[in-house]
Amino acid sequence: MTEPVRADLSGKTCLVTGASAGIGKATAAELARLGARVVMAVRDAEKGERARREILGATGRADVELAIVDLASQASIRAFAAEAARRFPSLDVLVNNAGVWINRKAKGPDGIELTWATNVLGYHLATELLLPLLRRAPRARIVNVASQLAGGLELDDVEYERRPYDGQAAYAQSKQADRMLTWGLARRLASSAVTANALHPGFVATEIFGKGGGFVGMAASVYSKMRARKAADGADTVVYLAASPDVEGRSGLFWMDRQEKRCRFRDEAQEEALAALCRSMAPA
């Protein structure tokens, strides 16, 4: 059994997206246990409040807060970031975790394919708009929840306008992009006190698969109930990267089970092309 992360996050502010359930909720709970002021960024206020109260009861802490944001909506992300700038003098940890898996093509509020809008542009825009707060912290960490299920990124067709849409392929493309955005971000922040890392949490029993619908979503949901890790186990490496002194100053790395792993998606030219595409689709 893995030992719990040991760290003192007293006085630190940690923001976790997609924190009403699954890995995000488990991450928020553990960061609260370590003493942080935790901001749970959620889309559904009622569900988020239930999760917040559960965390309060489990940890005995009072400084666990909600922030309402739809990571598929750029207007919502902008309002969320503006509110964060008013509420917090600085931000010590940003965990980009919110994501979707859908098996029937849909568009988000901005008319952008929903998986790409949420899983990629949501990470990109939230990070860019929150960077001033992160830079104000003595040392800050960005943790991007990616996946081993990654690949198939085509920068000239990220919304599946040319290719037939497939939910698993769209999800895998988005998770490749999340890794590549992390490497580019780490490179850009190399001279600062802000680090950026990505991780695979393992296959976790989470709502994301069941909500996808279709045969693949149902099969993943059944598998998750039978064989998957619990959310707290999936959150372990997230919390490790967000809080552990062991990774202080380490950046631009891909992690699994608290171990650095090789990532095959490393190409500086492609990373810069992806960043440019994200800036054009979701300008900060």
Residues 6 or more apart in contact with residue 205 via CB below 8 angstroms: 22, 224, 225, 228, 229, 230, 231
The separation between the first and the last C-alpha atoms of the chain, rounded to the nearest angstrom, is: 42
Look at residues 27, 53, 137, 19 and name the one whose alpha carbon lies nearest to residue 89.
137
Alpha carbon distance 199, 238 (integer Å): 7
Q: How far apart are CA 124 and CA 114, in angstroms?
A: 14
Q: 25: which residues sit within 8 A by CB, 6+ positions away?
A: 19, 40, 51, 54, 55, 231
Report the half-sphere exposure of 280 (CA within 13 A, side-chain side).
7
Residues with catalytic annotation? 171
DSSP assigned state of 113: B
**SS3 category, 264:** coil
- Output the CA–CA distances (angstroms, integers) from residue 105 to 32, 42, 102, 166, in the order listed: 37, 23, 7, 8
Which residue is associated with the tokens 């695979």? 200
81 and 126 Cβ atoms separated by less than 8 Å: yes
How far CA 186 is from CA of 122, 252, 272, in Å, comes to: 18, 5, 12
